[in-house]
């Protein structure tokens, strides 16, 4: 396991990105349930945005 980030506190920007990812998952689920492809695509884009932030942060 990587100990480099072990005791670093989360910044407020991390909390915002977690929220974007979480709500992206909710919007994707709502788009699937309501059979709205536009809503599902928006949710997938939000999830990709959130995951992309954390991937680039670790890189």
What does the pLDDT read at residue 4?
63
What does the pLDDT read at residue 1?
53
pTM for the model stands at 0.75
What does the pLDDT read at residue 27?
92
CA-CA distance, 57 to 59, in Å (whole number)?
Answer: 5
Encode the chain (59 residues) as per-residue pLDDT tens digits. Answer: 556 666 677 778 888 888 999 999 999 999 999 999 999 999 999 999 999 988 888 87
What does the pLDDT read at residue 40?
93
- Find, among 49, 44, 42, the residue nearest to 17 by Cα: 49
């Amino acid at each position: 396991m990587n100990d480099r980030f072990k005791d670093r506190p989360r910044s407020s920007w991390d909390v915002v990105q977690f929220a974007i990812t979480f709500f992206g998952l909710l919007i994707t689920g709502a788009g699937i349930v309501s059979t709205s492809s536009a809503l599902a695509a928006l949710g997938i884009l939000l999830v990709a945005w959130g995951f992309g932030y954390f991937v680039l942060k670790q890189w």
